[in-house]
């Protein structure tokens, strides 16, 4: 699959979920709330400069704006960007491997459920760009599915016969990949796996289900859809080096 075709397909998938099916992001609230809390805990000022990559339904940006943060957002979908711009948020159309932000201008960059959508070149270029726009000592936070079996969510277009992942995922991640690909620029402070499950308003039965899923996810069981999360700190500015993607999980 060539890069231009792949980018076009990814953009179409993102556009569908962000504009035609925004309710699909409702389950992301516990994960995004955790990320918001981690930013708040590490912010050195009441108004940190934060970039969120990937808009979704805009929940992260809305909550960050309500906290008084200087929030920016980046997404390839112009329609989703326009909604945030209308709400007073500094949102821009762009790509992770070509960030429009100035070098060393941000305190935090968040990319939650983003890296798995990218090709190797896009992902490695994106990591270098994130390191470029962060201030030294700035934080990169995010999540990806843990050891996802990509074939389990593969489907086929009934019209053209093309095979594709239903959410556009292209890469599976484990601890080793994150450590290897982040290593040139970031020092990982926290790296773990979990399930960001809902608790409020679920009643006893719902709480038991959340607890069971949480325990299974921490054990890495795929039936619980475990998430790999990280909190990493920039320790050096990108240099002119060529990186190779880490080996895929066995």
- Could you write out the DSSP letters of every residue in 88-142? T-EEEE--GGG--SPTT-EEEEEEES-GGGS-HHHHHHHHHHHHHHEEEEEEEEE
CA angle, residues 235, 238, 243, in degrees to nearest 5: 110
What pLDDT, on the 0 to 100 scale, is given for residue 5? 41
Name the class of domain 3-196+227-234.
Answer: alpha beta
Helix 120-133 with 175-182: angle, nearest 10 deg: 50
Q: What is the model's pLDDT at position 1?
A: 37
For residue 139, CA distances in Å to 19, 42, 43 come to: 29, 8, 9
List Cα–Cα distances, 160 to 10, 118, 156, 157, 164, in angstroms: 16, 23, 8, 6, 11
pLDDT in tens, 198-218: 988 889 999 999 999 999 999
d(CA 120, CA 100): 20
Residue 53: beta bridge partners? 74
DSSP string, 137-168: EEEEEEEEEBS--GGGGEEE-TTT--EEETT-
For residue 250, what is the DSSP state? -
pLDDT at 166: 78
pTM for the model stands at 0.90
Domain boundaries, given as residue ranges, for the chain:
3-196+227-234
- CA 56 to each of CA 21, 76, 187: distance values in angstroms, whole numbers, following the listed order: 10, 11, 27
Q: Give the residue among 137, 163, 169 at the shortest CA–CA distance from 150.
A: 169
Per-residue pLDDT of the chain (250 residues; tens, 9 = 90+): 344 445 556 677 777 777 766 777 888 999 999 999 999 999 999 999 999 999 999 999 999 999 999 999 999 999 999 999 999 999 999 999 999 999 999 999 999 999 999 999 999 999 999 999 999 999 999 999 999 998 888 888 787 877 878 778 999 999 999 999 999 999 999 999 999 999 888 899 999 999 999 999 999 999 999 999 999 999 988 876 667 788 888 7
Residue 154 C-alpha from the chain's centroid: 20
Query: Is 49 buried (19+), middle (13-18) or exposed (0-12) by CB count in 10 A?
Result: buried
> What is the predicted pLDDT for the residue at 18?
74
Instruction: Indicate the SS3 state at residue 232.
Output: strand
Measure CA 175 to chain center. 16
């Amino acid at each position: 699959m060539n890069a231009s075709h792949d980018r076009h397909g990814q953009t179409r998938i993102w556009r569908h979920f962000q504009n035609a099916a925004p309710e699909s992001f409702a389950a992301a609230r516990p994960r995004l709330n955790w990320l918001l809390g981690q930013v708040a805990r590490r912010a050195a000022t009441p108004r940190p400069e934060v970039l969120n990559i990937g808009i979704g339904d805009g929940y992260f940006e809305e909550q960050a704006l309500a906290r008084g943060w200087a929030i920016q957002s980046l997404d390839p979908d112009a329609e989703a960007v326009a909604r945030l711009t209308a709400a007073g948020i500094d949102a821009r159309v762009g790509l992770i491997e070509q960030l429009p932000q100035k070098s060393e201008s941000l305190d935090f960059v968040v990319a939650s459920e983003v890296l798995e959508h990218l090709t190797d070149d896009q992902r490695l270029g994106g990591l270098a760009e994130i390191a470029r726009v962060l201030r030294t000592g700035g934080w990169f936070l995010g999540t990806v599915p843990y050891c996802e079996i990509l074939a389990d969510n593969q489907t086929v277009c009934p019209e053209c016969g093309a095979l594709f992942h239903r959410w556009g995922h292209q890469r599976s991640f484990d601890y080793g990949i994150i450590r290897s690909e982040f290593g040139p620029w970031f020092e990982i402070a926290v790296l773990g796996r979990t399930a960001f499950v809902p608790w409020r308003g679920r009643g006893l039965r719902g709480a038991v289900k959340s607890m069971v899923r949480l325990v299974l996810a921490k054990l890495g069981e795929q039936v619980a859809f475990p998430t790999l999360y990280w909190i990493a700190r920039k320790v050096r500015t990108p240099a002119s080096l060529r990186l190779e993607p880490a080996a895929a999980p066995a």
